[in-house]
Amino acid sequence: MNGNTAAALSVLHEALLLEAEGRRFYLRTAEAVGDKTIRQTFAELAGHEETHLTIVQQRLRALSSGSGWTS
């Protein structure tokens, strides 16, 4: 593994943490608000973070396996 790959893996691991924390934040906020529309908005945002998590995980697996960067 070259230095660029190691750096990319490090950044992707950090991205996973940030996306997961964002998802938790949106879910907690959705549970805390009383307004249905606002609750739905935060739940939708949490769903977007889940999508981001999936994308980052796919990139991590591909890079870790030697497949290189995928789009």
Q: What is the pLDDT along the chain (71 residues), one digit of tens a residue?
A: 688 889 999 999 999 999 999 999 999 999 999 999 999 999 999 999 999 999 999 999 999 998 887 66
Residue 71 lies inside a defined structural domain of this protein: no
Number of domains observed in the structure of the chain = 1
Here the contacts of 50-59 (C-beta below 8 Å, separation 24 or greater) are 50/23, 52/15, 52/19, 52/22, 53/16, 53/19, 53/20, 53/23, 56/12, 56/15, 56/16, 56/19, 57/16, 59/12
CB distance 2 to 28 below 8 Å: no
Q: Is 25 part of a structural domain of the chain?
A: yes
**Domain assignment of residue 48, given as a range:** 3-64
Look at residue 71 in the predicted model and tell me its pLDDT. Answer: 63
Collapsed DSSP state (helix, strand, coil) of residue 39: helix
In a domain, 52, yes or no: yes
This prediction's pTM? 0.85
